Amino acid sequence: MKIKDAAYQDGLKRTNTEFNGVKVRIYSPPSAARSSSKVPGLVFIHGGGWVLGIDANDQVASHLAKQLGAVVVSVDYRLAPEHVFPAAYDDSVAATKFFLKNAEKYNVDSSRIGITGDSAGGNLAAAVTLTLAKEKGLPKLKTQALLYPCLQAIDFNTPSYINHGQVNTLSKDLMVSFWLWYLNNDLSFKQVFEANNHTSDQLKKSQYAGYMDPQMVDVTQVKKENIKFPEIPNIATILDPRFAPLMADDADLEGLAPTYVMTCEYDVLKDDGVMYATRLQKAGVRVEHDYYEHGYHGFINLFDVYELAGTAMQNWLAYLKKNL
């Protein structure tokens, strides 16, 4: 989205700095600096297929900080295809851990820090949440809020990919390209992925396929190291929950922070979000799921000019106000 002017920045202190060697942008509203008590914090991880930079979501991050009265830290992670997985993931984990450990420096209550992200940022936010849930001696994330996240790379023929794969806001062709840029920067495998020929019959009958389809019967439990794949660089990574959070085992979902998931009708990723929300609920996690009929991928960036996106923004903010 091309930003018309910088009026949305008015009243905000915006600071480009580094957390543990990772570039971040801190958004601090005046109310946070003046507050006699500590304020909430929010880690924001921007979308853009792991290849687009932080500036595209600058207005959204600014709006979150102002409306929440919270200190928002936007992670300027290393981008694909120059930096393939796990660069963006590693940066997101490192920056989030630094914020949790050093919250007091920013007048932030470390027990009231959440994490949010859209699209590829939702992927990274979910991956960070899974990872930090196992960390000892670290304040726990208060909540995770995932906007139309991309969460799996084993099935590009889900109903939402089939029904909305030609939608120009995010086509199947482009989403597969994003995954490949992040995985190994080799687009020669695009047609193989689009046809689901990057997996195997063994994988399609395994618990990993079952994670996507709770109705599957005769699921075969297999160990990752025993799964056979075609000859594709880094292909086994598609089963790594740091890369594809929907591949997390059931036990790893238990005890995660309360979760918000936003999905849209016209979005190849709709089913990813629905499947994750369903699995989290079954694991006992408190989940709120907002689904927008007629919504489309990326529409939150138009919250100030498109009525449905404005409604979605208000609902996202209402959830965060209640859960931070």
Residue 190 to residue 249: CA distance in whole angstroms: 27
Q: At what angle do helices 58-68 and 307-323 cross, to 10 degrees?
A: 50
Contact by Cβ (8 Å): 179, 193: yes
Q: Is 83 a catalytic site residue?
A: no
Task: Please give the distance of CA 161 from its chain centroid, rounded to a whole number.
Answer: 18
Side chain identity at 275, as an amino acid letter? M
Q: Which of 58, 91, 267, 290 is catalytic?
A: 267
Determine whether 304 is an active site residue: no
HEC sequence for 85-96: CCHHHHHHHHHH
Q: Which residues, listed in sequence order, are joined to residue 296 by a DSSP beta bridge?
A: 266
Specify whether the CB–CB gap between 296 and 166 falls below 8 A. no
In angstroms, the CA 124 to CA 93 distance is 9
Query: Can you tell me the distance from the alpha carbon of 131 to that of 240, in angstroms, rounded to the nearest whole number?
Result: 12
Q: Name the catalytic one among 74, 92, 119, 177.
A: 119
| Tally of CA atoms within 13 A in the half-sphere of 61 that contains its CB | 32
Q: Compute CA 37 distance to the chain's CA centroid, rounded to the nearest angstrom.
A: 30
**DSSP per position, 194-242:** HTTTTS-HHHHTBHHHHHH-TT--SPBP--GGG----S-TTGGGGG-TT
- Burial class from Cβ neighbours inside 10 Å (0-12, 13-18, 19+) for residue 223 reads exposed
- Asked if 17 and 1 count as a contact pair (C-beta separation under 8 A), the reply is no
> Would you say 192 and 235 are in contact if contact means Cβ atoms under 8 Å apart?
no
Length of the chain: 324
DSSP state of 33: H
Q: Which of 46, 63, 198, 297 is catalytic?
A: 297
- Rounded to whole angstroms, how far apart are CA atoms 53 and 16? 14
- 22 has which bridge partners? 19
Active site residue 267: yes
- Active site positions, annotated: 119, 267, 297
